[in-house]
Structure 1
């Protein structure tokens, strides 16, 4: 079995509609992708109360991450007068694409920047089968949930 050329297998662009225009974001360089992964990991550790990786997060501030991540679409957005919230949302969507996949990027995009819209609500979980219908395992503590036989109860008194 021969491998197909990778560039024929991957869709390496993300196209985002903003203000009546479509901006195509090419796949970032490996260096930018690795930097995004490092920043997201450092931010997750810091958010969960872990040690802040000041170097990883400091490097994010030093470099122009959004420009690197959005590529030529960044300059196009600026030239077309895209607002800061729209540019930031596009960059966050691209981050989800780089760190996870296109489906995650679509969820971020569709959330409109509202984190509460990322988590499916109860009705969505039920519709999608995401609700847990598996019964809990029985106790393994070695005790029975059944009452003691009558004669054992009499001896205890």
Structure 2
């Protein structure tokens, strides 16, 4: 039976460059990950309840500092000490959150766009166009070719039998 590589060898750390310095964002700890996941689940359930009951209570929000430390770890303290602008810290925060929730590909999109919906759409456009072009050129699209009509060259008998 083969042995798996150590986790640290197969998963690259999240490194965010800001003002010429690389900030290494640690992975979210198990307790913090569970706490955050529970909060998101409670918030989602509360928002669903508010569709039918506008007065349904929302869960107590996470403290901003607690949330920043959950997602950025000691890198947050480094950023503050280095005087990193709030916008850069915010971008790092959405990037780290995306990395935790949905993985590196999402984190890369957040880093490139800051989470702005219009910027995300623009960022993804070349990829969508490339996928469509590829589907057309390889014929892997789901549309089926319209069948040709039956041949009309066969001998027919007239309704009168002649």
Do they fold alike, i.e. is TM over 0.5? yes
Which residue is 1:110 aligned to? 112
**In the alignment, structure 1 residue 50 sits paired with structure 2 residue 58:** no
Mark the runs of 5 or more structure 2 residues left unpaired by the alignment. 51-56, 145-162
Closer, same or farther in 2 for the Cα pair 1:19/1:71, shift >3 Å? same
Per-residue CA distance 1:75-131 (angstroms, 9 max, x = gap): 10000101111111101100000001111100110113422222322x531213487
Partner SS state of residue 11, structure 2 = coil
Counterpart selection for 1:127 from 130, 134, 137: 130
Give RMSD over aligned pairs. Answer: 2.9
Question: Contact 1:69 / 1:91 at 8 angstroms: preserved in 2?
Answer: yes
In the aligned structure 2, how far is the partner of 1:87 from the partner of 1:36?
A: 19
Closer, same or farther in 2 for the Cα pair 1:117/1:131, shift >3 Å? farther
How many residue pairs end up in the alignment? 131
Higher Cα Rg: structure 1 or 2? 2
Which residue is 1:96 aligned to? 98
Closer, same or farther in 2 for the Cα pair 1:109/1:45, shift >3 Å? farther
Mark the runs of 5 or more structure 1 residues left unpaired by the alignment. 137-157
Partner SS state of residue 49, structure 2 = coil
Which residue is 1:82 aligned to? 84
Shift of 1:5: 4.7
Closer, same or farther in 2 for the Cα pair 1:45/1:6, shift >3 Å? farther
